[in-house]
Amino acid sequence: MTAPSHPAAPFVRMFTQRFSCTLRGARLARQLALVCLDDWGIPEGTRLSDDAGLLVAELASNAATHGRVVGRDFELRMTLLGGDPHAAGVLRLEVSDPRRECRPALQPQAYQAESGYGLRIVDGLAADWGVMDRVIGKTVWAELAAVRAPAPAR
């Protein structure tokens, strides 16, 4: 048997959904992200699923709290990139909201502060993260190394 003459196409999965810019919308974004990851073969309770759920929860709650514009939604986009379904790849999480002027940045932590730890969590978990401007608003993105399970034996 000979190898195929063309390289294997990259394995890509995508999920995009808009949510109301509320804390309820943020919770729903996290729940749907976990269901989607499970459908992609990344079961709940795995490190990748847990980390992705935490990042989505933080980015979505930031969008609902700091990026809120009455009557506008925020958007969650997840992209799983890899060579094939069973190889290592990258899980990219993006949350877009309609407020460009409210940009997230790591701040020095105040002693005994009750908030402000979210981006430290994102910075600690994500392999990389950042902010991009959009025509209307901004997108905060984070990437995780997606180590997939080995293919089942046949």
Region of residue 126 (phi > 0: left; psi between -120 and 50: alpha; otherwise: beta):
beta
Beta strands in the chain (DSSP E): 11-20, 73-82, 89-97, 128-133, 138-146
Residues 95-112: tens digit of each pLDDT: 999 987 766 666 666 665
Residue 31 is assigned to a structural domain of this protein: yes
Element (H, E) at 58: helix 47-66
Looking at every residue in the chain, the average pLDDT score rounds to 84
Whether residue 33 has pLDDT greater than 70: yes
Residue 2 is assigned to a structural domain of this protein: no
Residue 4 is assigned to a structural domain of this protein: no
Could you tell me how far CA 5 lies from the centroid of its own chain?
35
User: Which pLDDT value is given to residue 99?
Assistant: 82
User: Which pLDDT value is given to residue 77?
Assistant: 98
How many alpha carbons fall within 13 Å on the CB side of residue 39? 11
Worst-scoring range by mean pLDDT, 10-14, 16-20, 49-53? 10-14
Residue 21 is assigned to a structural domain of this protein: yes
Q: Which CATH number goes with the domain that contains 61?
A: 3.30.565.10
Identify the domain containing residue 38 by its residue range: 11-106+114-146
Whether residue 151 has pLDDT greater than 50: no
Band of residue 115 on the pLDDT scale cut at 50, 70, 90? low
SS3 content of the chain, % helix, strand, coil (to 5): 30, 30, 40
Whether residue 18 has pLDDT greater than 70: yes
Residues 45-94: tens digit of each pLDDT: 999 999 999 999 999 999 998 888 887 899 999 999 975 555 668 999 99
- Percent of the chain past pLDDT 90, that is, above it, reads 58
Residue 70 is assigned to a structural domain of this protein: yes
Residue 66 is assigned to a structural domain of this protein: yes
Question: Number of folded domains in the chain?
Answer: 1
